[in-house]
Amino acid sequence: MQFRASVPPILREMQALRTLGVWRLMLQALVTGGITGAVIGLFRQTYTLINTAVVDYVHGHSLSDPLVGLSIFVALVLLGLLAWQLLRHEPLISGSGIPQVELTVAGHLPMRWVTVIWAKFVGTLVSLSGGLSVGREGPCIQMGAAVGCGVGRIWHDDKAQTMPRYLIGGSVAGLTAAFGAPAAGLCFAFEEMKTVISAPMLLFAALAAASAWFVIEVLFGFGRVFPFHNTGTLSLLQWWIVPLLGGMVGMLGAAYNAILIRLTHWADRSPLMPQPVRVLAPFLISGLLLYFYPQVLVGFGPGALDLESLALPLGALLLLLAAKILFSCVSFASGVAGGLLMPMLLGGALAGGCAASALLSLNCIGPEQGATLLILCMAGLFASTVRAPLTGAALLIEMTGSLHNAPAIVVTSYLAALAANCLNSPPVYDSLKQRAVDQEKARQAKIDQAAGAPGATT
C-alpha cells in the first residue's frame, strides 16, 4: 500500500475550503468539536473514577498483607497483558499518538479511525490504571483526530480532500477537551502541526475548539486543571529569575528528550525486550514503586498543586524529579498507549519546586511567589521538549488562569526553547515521527508478505 501522496493533502484541502459554504463549514466544525468533547469528557470522567477507586483500595488495605500484594501483582500483570494485546491489535495507538496524527495529516500514515478511538480509549485507561507515568493529553489529541476523521468520512465521499481539516479540527478539539485550553489548541495546530494559516482553516479550528470547550466546561463541568491559589507576580528587580529558569528547564528538556529517545530506540532494537516483556516491565516497576517509593505514582505522591504549599527539602525534590523523569521515560519507551505532556508538566512543576526551594532559602522570592515559579518551569519544560513555546505559554496561562504572569511565562518559554536549540536537541515529536513511519512500514510489509505479495510497495 502506498501512503505517500504526490500532493500534500493539506494543499488540496485549502483549495476545497475556498469553494465550501461558510455555514456548512461552521456546522462541520461544531459537530467535530462537540463529538470530540463528548468522547474526551467521558474518558476524563472514567479515568477519575478508576484512579479514585485504585487509590482508595490501596489506602484502605495494608500493603504488608500477602493477599493484598498478590491481588495487586495479578492486577498489574493482567493490565500489562491487556495493553500488549491492544498494541498487537492496533499498533497506531502506541505512545501519545501526536506523531501519528501529524504524519496522517501529511498523508504518510493511514487513520483507522474506528479502531484508534476505542483502542486508544481503553489502552490509555489501562496504562493509567496500572500506575504508569503517562499522560492523557496526547491520546486525547489522537482520539480527537480519529473522531474528526470519522465525521469527515461520514459527511463526504471525497475522503482525500476532506480528511485534513477534520484531523486538524479534531486534534484542536482533543487538546482543548483534555486541558480546557482552546487558545492552546489553536496554537498547537498552527505551531506544532505546521498547519497553513488560512481564514477557513482558522474558522474551522476555532469553532471546533469552542464546541469542545463548551461540552467539557459546561456540560461535564470540568474546571481548570491547575487552579493555584496564589500566583504572585515577579517585580522588575526579580526578572533575572526568568532567564535563569528558562536556561535551567531548557537544559532539563534537552536531557529529557535524549533519555527518552535513546531508551525508546534501545527497546526497539534490543533482543532482550520482546514486546510482551517490554510492555509488562513498567507495570511491574509500578508495583515495586508502590511499595518502595509511592511518591512517584499519580495519586500517591505530590501533584503540581500540592507543590505550591508542600515544604519538601531541596534534596527530596531533586530525587523525586529524577525518579519521575526516569519512570516517565521507561513508561513511554514500553510503547503503551499514553502521552508525554502531563508527566512533562509535573516534571516542570518539580523543577520549579526545586528552584523555589533554593530561592526561598536565599530570600530572593516571597512565599506567595512559589506557585509562579512552578508555572514558569512547567511552561518552559513543555517549550524546550516539544519546541512549541507559544503553545506552552498559552497552555499554562489557560490551565492556571495566571494571565497577569503572561509576559514572564512567554519569555521563559521562548528562552527554554532557545536553550534546547543551542544544545542541538531535536523536538521530541520530530524524533518520534520517523519511528512511527518505520513501524507502520514494517507492519504493512508483514501483511503484504502474509498475503503473498512480499514485493509490494509500503
Is it the case that residue 457 has pLDDT exceeding 80? no
Domain 9-219 identical in fold to domain 236-439: yes
Cα–Cα distance, 372 to 207 (Å, whole number) = 31
* Cβ neighbours of residue 91 closer than 8 Å, sequence gap 6 or more: 439, 440, 443
Domain ranges in the chain are: 9-219, 236-439
pLDDT at position 3 = 44
Greatest extent of the chain over all pairs of C-alpha atoms, in Å: 72
Q: What is the pLDDT of residue 49?
A: 94
Helices (H), 90-198: 98-105, 113-129, 137-155, 159-179, 182-187
Cell matching residue 166 = 477534520
pLDDT of residue 8: 62
Q: What is the DSSP string of 389-448?
A: HHHHHHHHHHHHT-GGGHHHHHHHHHHHHHHHHHTTPPPHHHHHHHHHHHHHHHHHHHHH
Residue range 177-235, pLDDT digits in tens: 999 999 999 999 888 887 777 788 889 999 999 999 999 999 998 988 899 888 888 99
Q: What average pLDDT score do residues 130-140 get? A: 89
Confidence of residue 29 (pLDDT cuts 50, 70, 90): very high
pLDDT digits (tens, 9 = 90+) for 48-65: 999 999 999 998 888 888
What does DSSP assign to residue 4?
Answer: -
Give 346's pLDDT tier (boundaries 50, 70, 90): very high
Considering the chain, what percentage of its residues have pLDDT values greater than 90? Answer: 58
Fold of 9-219: Clc chloride channel (1.10.3080)
pTM equals 0.89
The pLDDT tens digits for 391-445 are 999 999 999 988 999 999 999 999 999 999 999 999 998 888 877 777 667 767 7
Taken as a whole, the chain contains a residue count of 458
The angle, 0 to 180 degrees and rounded to 10, between the axes of the packed helices 159-179 and 22-59 is: 40
In this structure, which CATH number among 1.10.150.120, 3.30.70.3450, 3.50.50.60, 1.10.3080.10 belongs to the domain 236-439? 1.10.3080.10
239: its cell numbers: 526578572
pLDDT at position 299 over 90 = no
Predicted local distance difference test score (pLDDT) of residue 378: 96
**Among 156-170, 279-293, 372-386, the least confident range:** 156-170
Which of residues 2 and 339 earns the better pLDDT score? 339
Q: Which residues contact 166 (CB under 8 A, 6 or more apart)?
A: 28, 32, 145, 148, 149, 151, 152
- Distance between CA atoms of 98 and 200, rounded to whole angstroms? 23
H-type alpha helices, 60-97: 66-89
**Nearest residue to 355 via CA among 259, 224, 234:** 234
CA atoms of 287 and 307, how far apart (whole Å): 24
Whether the per-residue pLDDT at 255 is higher than 50: the answer is yes
